Amino acid sequence: MLFHFLAMAPAGGGGGQGGGGLTALLPMVLIFLVFYFLILRPQSKKQKAHQQMLNEMVKGDKVVTTGGIHGTIIKVNETDKTLLIKVNDDVKLTVDIGAIARKNVGAAKT
């Protein structure tokens, strides 16, 4: 049975199409390009835009943390990359600048 299966295998001689290595590599290259343009590149752009937004934080900006806390920046500490945010009249929090998810553009500055 095994001999019959091996006997049906094509001969591996020089007959066949040329450039087999290149045509075998082409689908992998195309898959990588699609992956890059659909996933990696947009994610990189989004990350750069978020980093730019974090670098432009100033006193008075309304922000939302990754934990969902809404507040207003009252102090930016550049040395240790923290922000002091005011949640309400009695509550002030110190958060890492990386904990800011987005600016709350719906709220007006006061």
Tell me how many degrees the CA angle 26-17-6 measures, rounded to the nearest 5. 100
The domain total for the chain is 2
Query: Is residue 8 one of the residues assigned to a domain?
Result: no
The answer to whether 69 touches 37, Cβ cutoff 8 Å, is no
Say which CATH number the domain at 98 has.
2.30.30.140
Each residue's pLDDT tens digit, 69-94: 999 999 999 899 999 999 999 999 99
Each residue's pLDDT tens digit, 7-38: 555 555 554 555 567 788 888 999 999 988 89
Q: What pLDDT does 104 receive?
A: 85
Query: Is residue 87 one of the residues assigned to a domain?
Result: yes
Query: Is residue 2 one of the residues assigned to a domain?
Result: no
Regarding whether 27 and 48 lie in a shared domain, the answer is yes
Each residue's pLDDT tens digit, 32-65: 999 888 988 999 999 999 999 999 999 999 999 9
Query: Is residue 65 one of the residues assigned to a domain?
Result: yes
CA distance 92 to 86: 4
pTM of the entire predicted model: 0.63
Regarding whether 66 and 36 lie in a shared domain, the answer is no
Regarding whether 38 and 63 lie in a shared domain, the answer is no
Q: What pLDDT does 7 receive?
A: 53
What range does the domain containing 77 cover? 58-103
Query: Is residue 71 one of the residues assigned to a domain?
Result: yes
